[in-house]
Structure 1
Amino acid sequence: MIAAPPATARAPKVVLLARIRDDVQARARALLVARLMIAVYLLELLLNLTRPHVMPGEPALSIFMEMPKTTGRILKESLNNNGLYDGYNRMMATPRLIFWAVLAGIVIGVLVQVFGTITRAEGRRAVALTWVTLTAVIGPFSLLTFSTLLSYPLVALACVPATAAALTLLHFCQRFARLPLSTLLAAFGWGALIVYGAGRVYTGLGITTVYGYMFKGYLNADGTIADQRSLTDLNAVWGSIAKFYRITDLMAVHWGVANALVVAAGVVLALLLLRHRVTDALTGLIIGAAIGLGDNFVESTVFIKVYGSFGSSLGSTFGFEFWLRQVVTLFGGTVAWGALLGAGFGLAAQMRRGGLPGPPAARRRLVVATSFATAIGGAASYEILASWLSHLTADSVDAGTTFDTLVVSPGLWLLPQSPFIFLAVLMLIAGRRARASAAYAAVSAEAAAGGAISPPEVPFLADPALRWWAVVNTWRWYGRAAAVALLRLQSAQLDLAGWRFERQQADPGETPADREEGDRLRAKVLRLKAGAAPIRTAAAS
């Protein structure tokens, strides 16, 4: 009889099989996210198809609606001096190319999945087919973003410095076990390409559906107004104006709901890709904020161009819009509520792994629902309350003055967003404090293993203030080169401690690839230590 291999020999294989099963589950969940996004789009199409038609000869889908030639010519002549008509068209209209591209993507995605099922694709082939499906199904929404950025390249370039600075700040505020910069860039790309594109497509269909129900029966079959009193009766006139205001408010709410859904989809996909790393509230917060920053980048490009085109008619200029959207409220709006939404999903992911006490399923549902409600409320307040406050103060403040530009207008925009910004900052502080205790435990555990981190280095690595003090004093006594070398050594040691923490938190078991990564990080630390003995002495002193 052949003896069975020892349990230690079978352990890596068992862990590897668990990781493969986990990958299959992750692919299934990623495809589920894509299906839900397409389901929302198809629901919007169905509601748009069944809406009441207001104008004579109105097509079944509002995407194919064309403005009457006379009205269109008047609007273009009166509003298109600075591209205003085209700007509004780009904000609200759904290009027909996107409509056909999304339908084609759905067909391609179905065919790819059928092919994978028939061929029983596994391993790398299954992963490749999943990426092809996601690209084909979700990718067409990005066409609207590309069209916008190519139409206003100078405005987009003007928004790059502030956005890049904000993204860099998000990267460095994680403190410990940082997400790779490539992950932040991918989250930013999701916000810029998918959140902006899909949110506008959903809202463009939804607003025309609401318009049909609000003005049902307003016109006769020949295009004449059904109730002629609406032209002379003051109450009827104000009723029509009130309907337009209600449509605007509903559009803002719809916009918030649609964007929250797409931001949530991006956060879920990112957390699935990072499921073997640290996934907590801080992870979700950083990802959600990066996604919101991407959406804010494209949105700022459009609004700066469109509202800046008003010029002297409403007192709005390109410089004022840039100041308002890229300086004053850069971390408000989508960035703030996106961070809160991401923090909620990250917290739910941490609870799913058993990282927090309590009934997991009920608590996760409550956290996710609260995150959605907060995000939708933040988006609606950003659009509705700021405009309402602006109308309240219009008669008491002179528009365009220095006081209005520097104090009143920024204050009116920040006031509705301040609770959400405040909550996001509190979540960031709490997440950093949790990471600080985790950093001390991980550094101490790696020091106990010996070699890469010595016991005297533990308090320096676990405390950012002590680390900075050591670098500054090394610069003072040994020069810039020594300080840079010490900084590199500390960064490598923190990466090693972060790897150990990730293995303990995200996946207790280790595969050969995990051990190889740990050996590589440990060898890097030892190599840096070998070439920096005087620096270590200086830091200790």
Structure 2
Amino acid sequence: MTALYASQIVIDILRPRYEGEYAHEWVGILNPLIPGMPDPGFGWYEVSFWAYLVALPVAAAIWLIGSRQARALSESAAYERTTRRWQGWVIGVLLIPYPIFALDPITKNITFLLLCLPSTAYAVWLVHRMQRYARVPGWLLLTMVGWGALIGVGFGGSMIQWWFDYSGNFFFPDLSGSAIPDVGKLLARQNAGALLFAGVFEELGKGLGVAFCYLLLRRYIDNVVSGIVLGAASGAGFNFMESATYMAQHNAAKASSEYFTRQSVGLMAGHLAFTAAIGAGFGIARQLADPAARGRAIACGFGIAMAGHFCNNAFFAFFDNHKQDWFSPGNTVDTLVLLPLAMFLFQGPLVLLYVVLVRRGNKDQAAGLAVELRAEAATGFGAVTAAEVPVLLRPGRRLYLRLRALRRDGLGAYRDLGRVYAAQLRLGAARWHRSRDECVPTAPDEQALREQIMHLKGQLAAPVRPLQVVS
């Protein structure tokens, strides 16, 4: 991300110059697009640019100081802890510019963000419910939502902002201070490039959050379902910010249409579906032994997301420009019929893709857990009993028993029983990964999981305990 941002700066520095360009002319992001146009005024994207320039030497200094401190340590564990600490600081410093960029839509669109919050929360809840067995922790799910809303929006927005800033100089390099450019031609070329930039860089920004999880928190990715959930959560966060931005750019009638498109009929499509494809690639790679095959799976996930995003933008742009040549609908028919139909055609295939993969992934996980949970019950350790296995393999039954516990013993019993089930399923998933040679160094020890389960069972209220073994 840092290197790509630097490439945009280099392109901006090399752009043809107009007459009359003023201070900081080598930093195009601080200048009007064309001489004579009004100054856009203050924007957080300007602060983001300077934060980027400051972040580079700060990150380099942390790298040098941290690596020197680590090399001075003789104990391997201390060396590893110190190395991870300064590497984390370097990553954090390099990521700072992108959340700053995202402050622009946050500060300008707070009302619309509040309007979009309930529907986005509902989308995240639906994404969470895709997981029928071992689940991604709630804190990690919300972290991915935040990544999409802040890092994804900041990085993708930065790339597109650079494009709109310098592209006019390349399209009209001979423009003098008094000449009048062909604004229509300029906007057509810029918008065409923006379609490609959005497809590539927005998906890259969102998908890199899944990459972080894959590299650092792989123990929480079980199969394709976990990957899709993480990718979809990042896409939901991005869609949350983008919805509010587009609503703020239009009047009341158009804003309601944008809400209907992005936060209602298209809530589980669009950005959520695009980034779910990236997550699917990482989820599949989690279960592949061949490094080359893992790379291909991840590359295909990014390729499908970027291509789908670009094609969706291009098709919708074409449809909006030409639908009046084919139809003569009123606003109501256009919004309630033509728009959902177009979304079904352009975004439906990616929605179908992640739905089919989630269904297949849940079936595969259920089959693997059935074998491992029965094997765990046969060990006699008590973490999982034979009577509990059918309950663990039936999500509806688990929910029913938790609701019974809620009615009989209150919210604490509902929560505690859920923790027992989650820990038991996590133990089954750990055994499943071990049987497939998919263990990672950071994965918890199976014996530690058994002890955790026995401790949680001990905390259950006496009236709740019989509910565990109802089949």
Report the TM-score range of the alignment, normalised by the length of the smaller protein. 0.7 to 0.9
The CA deviation at 1:535 is 3.6
Tell me the amino acid that sits aligned with residue 407 of structure 2: R
Match for residue 40 of structure 1? 4
- The answer on whether the counterparts of 2:221 and 2:283 sit within 8 Å (CA) in structure 1 is no
CA distance in 2, matches of 1:511, 1:67: 51
In structure 2, relative to structure 1, the CA distance for the partners of 1:317 and 1:400 (3 Å cut) is farther
Matched, 1:346 2:303: no
CA distance in 2, matches of 1:295, 1:96: 21
Match for residue 108 of structure 2? 151
Match for residue 389 of structure 1? 319
Match for residue 455 of structure 2? 523
Match for residue 74 of structure 2? none
The CA deviation at 1:375 is 1.0
CA offsets per residue over residues 218-242 of structure 1, 9 Å max, x none? x23x4335xxxx8xxxxxx7xx745
Matched, 1:255 2:185: no
| Aligned-partner SS, 2:220 | coil
Matched, 1:452 2:387: no
CA distance in 1, matches of 2:465, 2:453: 19
The CA deviation at 1:372 is 2.0
- The answer on whether the counterparts of 2:18 and 2:35 sit within 8 Å (CA) in structure 1 is no
Aligned with 1:439 (options 361, 366, 369): 369
- The answer on whether the counterparts of 2:278 and 2:302 sit within 8 Å (CA) in structure 1 is yes
CA distance in 2, matches of 1:165, 1:511: 31
- The answer on whether the counterparts of 1:442 and 1:498 sit within 8 Å (CA) in structure 2 is no
Matched, 1:364 2:294: yes
Match for residue 319 of structure 1? 256
CA offsets per residue over residues 262-321 of structure 1, 9 Å max, x none? 223211111223223344222211111111111111111100110x23x6xxxx422222
Tell me the amino acid that sits aligned with residue 63 of structure 2: Q
In structure 2, relative to structure 1, the CA distance for the partners of 1:350 and 1:209 (3 Å cut) is farther
Q: What is the correspondence of 1:525-540 to structure 2 with a 5 Å cutoff?
A: 525-528=457-460, 530-535=462-467, 539-540=470-471
Matched, 1:413 2:340: no
CA offsets per residue over residues 387-426 of structure 1, 9 Å max, x none? 2112222245456532222111232234211111111111
- The answer on whether the counterparts of 2:392 and 2:425 sit within 8 Å (CA) in structure 1 is no
Match for residue 96 of structure 1? 46
- The answer on whether the counterparts of 1:471 and 1:483 sit within 8 Å (CA) in structure 2 is no
In structure 2, relative to structure 1, the CA distance for the partners of 1:333 and 1:272 (3 Å cut) is same
Q: What is the correspondence of 1:51-450 to structure 2 with a 5 Å cutoff?
A: 51-54=15-18, 56-57=20-21, 59-66=25-32, 71-72=37-38, 95-120=45-70, 122-217=79-174, 219-220=175-176, 222-224=177-179, 241-242=184-185, 244-306=187-249, 308-309=250-251, 316-351=253-288, 354=289, 360-395=290-325, 397=327, 401-450=331-380
CA distance in 1, matches of 2:368, 2:16: 58
The CA deviation at 1:464 is 2.7
In structure 2, relative to structure 1, the CA distance for the partners of 1:197 and 1:430 (3 Å cut) is same
| Aligned-partner SS, 1:224 | coil
Aligned with 2:424 (options 480, 484, 496): 496
- The answer on whether the counterparts of 1:175 and 1:435 sit within 8 Å (CA) in structure 2 is no
| Aligned-partner SS, 2:200 | helix
- The answer on whether the counterparts of 2:133 and 2:395 sit within 8 Å (CA) in structure 1 is no
Q: Rg: which structure is higher?
A: 1
The CA deviation at 1:486 is 7.8
In structure 2, relative to structure 1, the CA distance for the partners of 1:527 and 1:452 (3 Å cut) is farther
In structure 2, relative to structure 1, the CA distance for the partners of 1:224 and 1:278 (3 Å cut) is closer
CA offsets per residue over residues 103-162 of structure 1, 9 Å max, x none? 111111111110011111624433332222111111221012123212221111001000
| Aligned-partner SS, 1:159 | helix
In structure 2, relative to structure 1, the CA distance for the partners of 1:346 and 1:172 (3 Å cut) is same
CA distance in 1, matches of 2:228, 2:34: 47
- The answer on whether the counterparts of 1:442 and 1:497 sit within 8 Å (CA) in structure 2 is no
In structure 2, relative to structure 1, the CA distance for the partners of 1:531 and 1:507 (3 Å cut) is farther
CA offsets per residue over residues 484-534 of structure 1, 9 Å max, x none? 858853651342231342255153789987643431222212543854355
Residues paired across the two proteins, number: 456
CA distance in 2, matches of 1:386, 1:447: 54
Tell me the amino acid that sits aligned with residue 427 of structure 2: W
CA distance in 1, matches of 2:432, 2:444: 16
The CA deviation at 1:379 is 1.4
- The answer on whether the counterparts of 2:383 and 2:450 sit within 8 Å (CA) in structure 1 is no
CA distance in 1, matches of 2:443, 2:309: 43
CA distance in 2, matches of 1:369, 1:509: 24
Matched, 1:50 2:14: yes
CA offsets per residue over residues 40-98 of structure 1, 9 Å max, x none? 1111111121122355436223112136786428xxxxxxxxxxx88xx97xxx72211
| Aligned-partner SS, 1:394 | helix
Tell me the amino acid that sits aligned with residue 126 of structure 2: L
CA distance in 1, matches of 2:116, 2:140: 21
Tell me the amino acid that sits aligned with residue 453 of structure 2: L
Matched, 1:462 2:398: no
Question: Which runs of 5 or more structure 1 residues have no equivalent in the other structure?
Answer: 1-36, 74-84, 231-236, 355-359
State, as a whole percentage, how many aligned pairs show the same letter.
Answer: 25
In structure 2, relative to structure 1, the CA distance for the partners of 1:181 and 1:202 (3 Å cut) is same
Q: Which moved more, 1:172-181 or 1:490-499?
A: 490-499
Tell me the amino acid that sits aligned with residue 439 of structure 1: L
Match for residue 481 of structure 1? 408
Tell me the amino acid that sits aligned with residue 317 of structure 1: K
| Aligned-partner SS, 1:72 | coil
TM-score under structure 2 normalisation?
A: 0.87
Tell me the amino acid that sits aligned with residue 177 of structure 1: A
- The answer on whether the counterparts of 1:279 and 1:349 sit within 8 Å (CA) in structure 2 is yes
CA offsets per residue over residues 362-402 of structure 1, 9 Å max, x none? 32232222222211112112322112112222245456532
In structure 2, relative to structure 1, the CA distance for the partners of 1:278 and 1:393 (3 Å cut) is closer
In structure 2, relative to structure 1, the CA distance for the partners of 1:156 and 1:479 (3 Å cut) is closer
CA distance in 1, matches of 2:346, 2:321: 14
CA distance in 1, matches of 2:9, 2:34: 23
The CA deviation at 1:431 is 1.4
